[in-house]
């Protein structure tokens, strides 16, 4: 969007031009301290030590003309009486430059309100006269054309100082030329940095302009004051000054800080009219009071304006000294102009450049006698192999820099020079070229993958614009979000499907984020262009971030399956992806069971807020069971015991869920005698026989767990059921209460003599049986006492083992068998399958005998 110059009453930046013209000076005496009745409210004057400055300033016999290019000035204000000279109204040349806003009057009072007149306040420069130049509308808005006209008008009428309290976010060739016009004619430029807490605005950001930020009463940079590599110094943020209509008021902003610097400069120039503009700049920077780190920093520049030091101290030939060693390196902003000197050919001056990004710093180095200057650049703590040397034909050297601290040293290329040589250094930063260049044209568009992603880019050259292309193979939705880290960028987003019309998004202004509407896209190539606003085509020190949010509309591979007769076949134990295409969409599936099975339907539904349900039907569409996600996301399970046959599943949702695919899986476990975990097991038949005889049952778990150790309580229950024990006598075991789930079975097997307790009287119902204990229990049930003689039938059972007799008898009668390696492993825990296999043989043998 096209930027405007706008004054916001408390915080905005408005145009103001102050011009001081020294017409000759004499120094009869110093200015007296202010006795104005409202001086007590001008606390900002104490912060910059104005009383001491007035005592140092010479009393000029000739006035200094100060031109204010702004909204005009209250021409009848009593505290400006005798302080005004004729000015100009650039908006209406036939009218006087009267203030119809108030801001210009605020600025004029800071600089030149009459001192010691028993009225109001004291201006900083008693030697100043105000020339009002109206260039802005009553609402504080205006264009750079009128601003430029105002500057040129002031310069052409003998200006020595130009102060600009307005701001633009964009670099302007026209304004840069106007600034150069003033500089070439010996005019000092001072400008407000801006009040948005972001990048320093133009014209303050031009290297030859003094950029002034705002300081709080607590001697810190105000959070609203713009900052960065272009900032030179700060002055108090709040003032008490003249107001439109003859009154006074408190005002804030960097537009109130800038005229303080202008007024101090006017005093300095009144005392020393022979100074060049660059010397005045150097004096103001040299005498500023450090507020943060020593030397320059991005928040406060060189520090707080000190008017007393400015009027008292002498101009140093090189204010950066001592900086002869690398550890003495002084900070050098990436956008500035400074002056220093070489004491001889042996003198080396070290500087640190704090680069805000990767990129390049252009150095324009000019020595007073055109001597070549050697520049050594240190990066990543290593000296560069190349040493750059300037010459009269090419005084510009461009150094690659990394984000952060970079070090350089400057020295005369001729080490034999003995006389001092002054020099100037002007710096200019050029941001890096982003990773997607060269993509300034549509046919050079950089290809991006068809997915959500984040892209970072820059506008590193004139008329830079970045083109991207994404080839989508699926339809879906697309949203583009472009954010910036500086108000110098006003992002514009263009999107165009190949062969179709483009759509441009530029809803907001400078420094803001542009977000496109949610776009429905079809398969094909889409071009995206990110650019700065049309009238801001210069390189920018800043980055933009493009966020691509792409959500494909997923395709359901099972469609059409909206009716039972269209049901998609559900292969067992396989994930089947699908999509709920609309709130009315219904997905039908079918599967077939070859035998009775435990069926588990698993629905993985990853979308919150969509209440999906799935129902199970038999072959005649009779309902069997259902479940619902209840608006949650996750895994949902429906489990049923089903006989062999054909079954249907119906899946539906209350709302569209096209952004994420669901997955449906039907897993089956064949049931044998009601158990889902014995199919194919070596003891399958024995366990099934016991189940048919109602010795064991799977219950709701459908599991027998054949390979788990069998406990003494479980063995008692299976013995009691297997041998149909009826007689019962209360069990007297301290660890088996009548409420124990196996109490009756333990009582029956104890009475029958099949099982008994341990020597300590406990039964230990939850203790696993060993294989020897299992064999003895079943031998007891069969009435076997172990009477056979002979050697042990197993190589891991000694002849004196306590159960060897029973093993001999049962092995010889072919009731038991050992392992293939000839062992029996009597002390290993017996499994439920092993116990079931022996019990099945014994119970069926007893049945046959009966």
SS (H, E, C) 520-562: EECCEEEEEEEEECCCCCCCCCCEEEEEEEEEECCCCCCCCCC
138 and 72 Cβ atoms separated by less than 8 Å = no
Kindly state whether residue 137 falls inside one of the protein's structural domains.
Answer: yes
CA angle 593, 598, 602 (to 5 degrees): 90
Res 18: pLDDT: 37
Taking residues 772-788, what's their average pLDDT?
Answer: 89
Res 1: pLDDT: 38
Res 384: pLDDT: 53
Flag whether pLDDT at 725 surpasses 90: yes
Res 813: pLDDT: 87
What are phi and psi for residue 190, nearest 5 degrees?
Answer: -130, 140
User: Angle 771-782/832-849 helices, nearest 10 degrees?
Assistant: 10
> Which of 623, 646, 670 is the C-terminal boundary of a domain?
670
**172 & 91 share domain:** yes
Paired strand residues for 381 = none
Res 850: pLDDT: 37
Given the residues 255, 409, 411, 840, the one annotated as active site: 255
Kindly state whether residue 115 falls inside one of the protein's structural domains.
Answer: yes
What are phi and psi for residue 308, nearest 5 degrees?
Answer: -65, -45
pLDDT in tens, 702-719: 899 999 999 999 999 999
**728 & 610 share domain:** no
613 is catalytic: no
In which band, very low, low, confident or very high, does the pLDDT at 358 lie, cut at 50, 70 and 90? very high
Handedness of CA 287, 289, 293, 298 (dihedral sign): negative
> Which of 396, 431, 466 is the C-terminal boundary of a domain?
431
Strands laid side by side in the 524-532 sheet: 446-448, 465-472, 524-532, 491-497, 502-505
Residue appearing with tokens 């001008």 = 42
339 and 424 Cβ atoms separated by less than 8 Å = yes
Kindly state whether residue 319 falls inside one of the protein's structural domains.
Answer: no
In which band, very low, low, confident or very high, does the pLDDT at 382 lie, cut at 50, 70 and 90? low
The percentage of residues in the chain with a pLDDT greater than 90, rounded to a whole number, is 68
142 and 69 Cβ atoms separated by less than 8 Å = no
pLDDT in tens, 238-268: 999 999 999 999 999 999 999 999 999 999 9
Flag whether pLDDT at 385 surpasses 90: no
Kindly state whether residue 662 falls inside one of the protein's structural domains.
Answer: yes
**421 & 463 share domain:** no
Indicate whether this model's pTM tops 0.95.
Answer: no
Kindly state whether residue 128 falls inside one of the protein's structural domains.
Answer: yes
In which band, very low, low, confident or very high, does the pLDDT at 223 lie, cut at 50, 70 and 90? very high
Flag whether pLDDT at 197 surpasses 70: yes
Res 30: pLDDT: 73
**156 & 304 share domain:** yes
**107 & 241 share domain:** yes
pLDDT in tens, 302-349: 999 999 999 999 999 899 999 999 999 999 999 899 999 999 999 999
Domain membership of residue 663 as a residue range: 564-670
Hey, is 701 helix, strand or coil?
Answer: helix
In which band, very low, low, confident or very high, does the pLDDT at 60 lie, cut at 50, 70 and 90? low
**129 & 263 share domain:** yes
- CA distances for 142 relative to 5, 522, 628, 701, angstroms: 5, 45, 64, 83
| Residues in the chain, total | 850
827 is catalytic: no
**719 & 804 share domain:** yes
Q: Which residue has the higher pLDDT, 277 or 632?
A: 277
Helices (H) and strands (E) in the chain, counts: 14, 39
Res 658: pLDDT: 61
Taking residues 57-83, what's their average pLDDT?
Answer: 87
CATH code where residue 608 lies: 2.60.120.380
**265 & 245 share domain:** yes
Q: Which residue has the higher pLDDT, 60 or 628?
A: 628
Paired strand residues for 73 = 98
What are phi and psi for residue 164, nearest 5 degrees?
Answer: -120, 115
pLDDT in tens, 631-688: 677 788 888 999 999 999 998 877 666 667 889 999 999 999 989 999 999 999 999 9
Res 633: pLDDT: 72
CATH code where residue 197 lies: 3.40.50.200
For 609-640, b/e burial (b = at least 16 CB within 10 A) is ebebbbbbbeeeeeeeeebbbeeebeebebee
Kindly state whether residue 698 falls inside one of the protein's structural domains.
Answer: yes
Most confident of 68-72, 359-363, 653-657: 359-363
Taking residues 796-823, what's their average pLDDT?
Answer: 92
Taking residues 185-213, what's their average pLDDT?
Answer: 92
In which band, very low, low, confident or very high, does the pLDDT at 163 lie, cut at 50, 70 and 90? confident
pLDDT in tens, 465-510: 999 999 999 888 999 999 999 999 999 999 999 999 999 999 988 8
Taking residues 52-57, what's their average pLDDT?
Answer: 92
Res 2: pLDDT: 38
Contacts (Cβ under 8 Å, ≥6 apart) of 46: none
Positions of E strands within 680-762: none
Taking residues 220-249, what's their average pLDDT?
Answer: 96
In which band, very low, low, confident or very high, does the pLDDT at 787 lie, cut at 50, 70 and 90? confident
**772 & 753 share domain:** yes
User: Angle 103-112/254-271 helices, nearest 10 degrees?
Assistant: 30
CA angle 496, 500, 505 (to 5 degrees): 35
536 and 507 Cβ atoms separated by less than 8 Å = no
Flag whether pLDDT at 25 surpasses 70: no
Res 8: pLDDT: 32
DSSP string, 66-78: EEEEES-B-TT-G
Given the residues 103, 335, 339, 576, the one annotated as active site: 103
Taking residues 163-176, what's their average pLDDT?
Answer: 86
Flag whether pLDDT at 22 surpasses 80: no
Structural domain count, the chain: 5
Whole-angstrom distance, CA of residue 731 vs CA of residue 107: 106
Kindly state whether residue 5 falls inside one of the protein's structural domains.
Answer: no
- CA distances for 819 relative to 814, 816, 824, angstroms: 14, 10, 6
Res 348: pLDDT: 93
> Which of 284, 312, 340 is the C-terminal boundary of a domain?
312
In which band, very low, low, confident or very high, does the pLDDT at 27 lie, cut at 50, 70 and 90? very low
255 is catalytic: yes
**487 & 422 share domain:** no
**53 & 86 share domain:** yes
Whole-angstrom distance, CA of residue 596 vs CA of residue 732: 44
Flag whether pLDDT at 188 surpasses 50: yes
pLDDT in tens, 392-444: 777 889 999 999 999 999 999 999 988 999 999 999 999 999 999 999 999 99
Given the residues 70, 222, 349, 490, the one annotated as active site: 70
Res 199: pLDDT: 93
**741 & 649 share domain:** no
Res 292: pLDDT: 80
Kindly state whether residue 12 falls inside one of the protein's structural domains.
Answer: no
């Amino acid at each position: 969007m096209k930027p405007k110059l706008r004054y916001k009453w408390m915080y905005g930046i408005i145009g103001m031009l102050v011009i001081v013209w020294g017409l000759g000076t004499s120094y009869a005496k110093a200015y007296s301290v202010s006795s104005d009745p409202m001086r007590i409210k001008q606390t900002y004057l104490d912060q910059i030590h104005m009383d001491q400055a007035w005592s140092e300033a010479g009393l000029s016999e000739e006035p200094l003309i100060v031109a204010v290019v702004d909204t005009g000035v209250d021409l009848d204000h009593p505290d400006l009486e005798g302080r005004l000279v004729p000015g100009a109204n650039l908006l209406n040349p036939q009218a006087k430059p009267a203030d119809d806003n108030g801001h210009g009057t605020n600025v004029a009072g800071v600089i030149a309100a009459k001192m010691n007149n028993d009225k109001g306040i004291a201006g900083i420069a008693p030697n100043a006269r105000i020339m009002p130049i109206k260039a802005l509308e009553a609402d504080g808005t205006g264009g750079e054309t009128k601003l430029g006209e105002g500057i040129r008008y002031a310069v052409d009428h003998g200006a020595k100082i130009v102060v600009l309290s307005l701001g633009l976010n964009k670099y302007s060739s026209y304004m840069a030329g106007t600034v150069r016009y003033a500089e070439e004619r010996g005019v000092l430029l001072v400008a407000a940095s801006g009040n948005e807490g972001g990048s320093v605005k133009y014209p303050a950001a031009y290297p030859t302009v003094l950029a002034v930020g705002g300081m709080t009463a607590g001697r810190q940079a105000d959070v609203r004051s713009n900052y960065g590599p272009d900032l030179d110094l700060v002055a108090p943020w709040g003032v008490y000054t003249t107001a439109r209509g003859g009154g006074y008021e408190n005002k804030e902003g960097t537009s109130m800080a800038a005229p303080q610097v202008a007024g101090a400069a006017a005093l300095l120039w009144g005392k020393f009219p022979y100074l060049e503009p660059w010397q005045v700049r150097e004096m103001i920077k040299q005498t500023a009071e450090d507020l943060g780190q020593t030397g320059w920093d991005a928040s406060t520049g060189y520090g707080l304006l000190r008017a007393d030091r400015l009027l008292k101290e002498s101009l140093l030939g090189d204010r950066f000294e001592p900086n002869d060693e690398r550890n003495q390196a002084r900070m050098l902003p990436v956008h500035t102009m400074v002056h220093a000197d070489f004491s001889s050919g042996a003198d080396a001056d070290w500087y640190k450049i704090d680069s805000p990004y990767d990129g390049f710093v252009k150095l324009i180095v000019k020595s007073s006698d055109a001597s070549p200057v050697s520049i050594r650049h240190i990066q990543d703590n290593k000296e560069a192999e190349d040493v750059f040397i300037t010459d009269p034909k090419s005084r510009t050297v461009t150094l690659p820099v990394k984000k952060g601290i970079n070090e350089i040293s400057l020295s005369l290329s001729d080490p034999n020079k003995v006389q001092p040589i002054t020099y100037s250094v002007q710096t200019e930063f050029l941001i890096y070229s982003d990773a997607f260049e060269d993509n300034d044209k549509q046919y050079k568009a950089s290809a991006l993958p068809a997915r959500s992603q984040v892209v970072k880019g820059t506008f590193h050259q004139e008329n830079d614009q970045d083109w991207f292309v994404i080839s989508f193979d699926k339809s879906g939705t697309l949203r583009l979000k472009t954010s910036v880290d500086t108000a110098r960028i006003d992002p514009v987003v263009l999107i165009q499907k190949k062969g179709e019309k483009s759509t441009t998004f530029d809803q907001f202004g400078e420094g803001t984020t542009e977000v496109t509407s949610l776009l429905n896209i079809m398969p094909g190539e889409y071009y995206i262009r990110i650019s700065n606003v049309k009238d801001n085509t210069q390189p920018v020190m800043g980055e933009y971030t493009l966020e691509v949010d792409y959500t494909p509309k997923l395709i359901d591979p099972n469609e059409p399956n909206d009716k039972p007769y269209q049901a998609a076949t559900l292969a067992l134990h396989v994930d089947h992806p699908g999509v709920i295409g609309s709130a009315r969409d219904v997905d039908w599936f079918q599967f077939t069971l070859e035998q009775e099975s435990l069926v588990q339907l698993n629905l993985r539904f990853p979308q919150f807020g969509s209440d999906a349900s799935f129902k199970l039907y038999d072959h005649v569409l009779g309902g069997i069971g259902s479940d619902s996600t209840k608006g949650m996301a996750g895994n949902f399970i429906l489990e049923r015991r089903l006989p062999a046959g054909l079954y249907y599943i119906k899946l539906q949702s209350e709302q569209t869920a096209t952004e994420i695919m669901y997955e449906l899986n039907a897993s089956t476990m064949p049931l044998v005698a009601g158990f889902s975990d014995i199919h194919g097991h070596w003891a399958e038949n024995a366990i099934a026989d016991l189940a048919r005889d109602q010795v064991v049952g799977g219950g709701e778990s459908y599991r027998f767990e054949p390979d788990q150790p069998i406990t003494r309580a479980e063995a008692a229950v299976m013995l009691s059921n297997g041998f149909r024990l009826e007689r019962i006598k209360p069990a007297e075991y301290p660890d088996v209460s009548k409420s124990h789930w196996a109490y009756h079975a333990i009582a029956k097997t104890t009475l029958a003599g099949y099982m008994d307790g341990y020597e300590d009287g406990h039964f230990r119902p939850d203790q696993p049986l060993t294989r020897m204990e299992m064999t003895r229990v079943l031998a007891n049930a069969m009435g076997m006492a172990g009477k056979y003689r002979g050697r042990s039938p197993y190589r891991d059972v000694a002849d004196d083992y306590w159960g060897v007799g029973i093993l001999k008898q049962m092995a010889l009668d072919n009731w038991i068998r050992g392992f293939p390696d000839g062992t029996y492993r009597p002390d290993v825990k017996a499994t439920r399958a092993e116990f079931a296999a022996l019990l099945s043989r014994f119970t069926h043998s007893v049945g046959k005998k009966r």
